[in-house]
């Protein structure tokens, strides 16, 4: 027994040395991720609680709902800014979308982002990646699609991921509305220049369609 007690401190040191390193501490609200926490992080940390934590943008729910939820609460736009949330649309197997926070703007086509649950690292999902590249590959340089750094390949992924845009931590300006670029274009309003001539309509007085056109155009 005396020998065991004398060896106990050494045994404890060996156990601690063999234990895996803990994930870095961060206070995550895991209402979106579910499950019990391990080492202070939920298993398979989702992108949403991490993006919310690092950006300060208090939106909850699946990533693909963030863009619409932000309307009227947060300013939105198509240009990256430090601290903004990059809102990904669902695409392929990514049915719930994705969100990431911009940490640095390099140039008009390149930013660094912070996000979670993108690349598997050391065989584990739900890992955090800080300051990795995202590159705008849209033809018009409007940040409507991007390529994103993929850890296992140590390079940009080949997929062109569609973006809804950027959500900023500031409040929207009064009356500010950003048209959703994915929304279908509205039918053009009938131009006055394209009005049928009065003589043409007069020649079609017996036509009920002509009567409707005259009434609508005040002829």
What stretches in the chain show pLDDT beneath 50?
1-41, 183-204
Q: For position 124, what pLDDT does the model report?
A: 87
pLDDT score, position 179: 60
Does the structural domain 20-167 have CATH classification 2.30.40.10? no
Output the CA–CA distances (angstroms, integers) from residue 26 to 45, 50, 80, in the order listed: 12, 9, 25
Q: Specify the pLDDT at position 71.
A: 96
User: What is the predicted pLDDT for the residue at 5?
Assistant: 47
The residue to which tokens 């404890």 are assigned: 12
The predicted pLDDT at position 43 comes to 60
Where are the domains positioned within the chain? Answer: 20-167, 187-219
Say which residue the tokens 């929207």 belong to: 172
Q: Compute φ and ψ for 148, nearest 5 degrees.
A: -125, 140
CA distances from 133 to 147, 155, 198 (A): 8, 9, 62
- pLDDT score of 97: 96
Which run of H or E residues covers position 12? Answer: helix 2-18
Return d(Cα 31, Cα 40) in angstroms, integer: 14
Amino acid 123: pLDDT: 84
- 116: its two tokens: 């979670």
Please report the pLDDT score of residue 121 as a whole number: 87
Number of H helices, E strands in the chain: 5, 8
pLDDT of residue 173: 85
| pLDDT score for 26 | 39
H or E stretch covering 114 = strand 110-116
The HSE-up count of residue 5 (CA atoms within 13 Å, CB side) is 2
> Tens digit of pLDDT for each residue in 140-153?
999 999 999 999 99
Q: How far is CA 200 from the centre of its chain?
A: 54
Q: What does the pLDDT read at residue 190?
A: 36
Q: Which two tokens stand for residue 112?
A: 């660094």
């Amino acid at each position: 027994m005396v020998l065991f007690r004398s060896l106990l401190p050494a045994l404890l040191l060996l156990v601690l040395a063999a234990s895996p390193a803990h994930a870095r501490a961060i206070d995550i609200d895991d209402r979106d991720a579910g499950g019990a926490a391990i080492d202070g992080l939920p298993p398979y940390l989702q992108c949403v609680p991490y993006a919310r934590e690092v950006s300060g943008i208090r939106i909850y729910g699946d990533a693909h709902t963030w863009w619409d939820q932000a309307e009227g609460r947060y300013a939105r736009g198509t240009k990256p800014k430090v601290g903004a949330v990059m809102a990904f649309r669902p695409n392929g197997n990514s049915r719930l979308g994705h969100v990431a926070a911009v940490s640095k703007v390099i140039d008009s086509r390149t930013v660094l982002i912070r996000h979670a649950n993108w690349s598997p690292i050391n065989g584990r999902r739900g890992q955090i990646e800080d300051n990795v590249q995202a590159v705008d590959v849209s033809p018009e340089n409007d940040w409507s699609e991007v390529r994103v750094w993929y850890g296992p390949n140590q390079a940009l992924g080949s997929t062109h991921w569609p973006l809804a845009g950027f959500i900023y931590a500031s409040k929207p300006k009064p009356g500010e509305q950003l048209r959703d670029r994915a929304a279908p274009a509205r039918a053009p309003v009938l131009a006055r220049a394209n009005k049928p001539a009065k003589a043409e309509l007069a020649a079609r007085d017996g036509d009920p369609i002509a009567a409707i056109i005259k009434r609508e155009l005040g002829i």
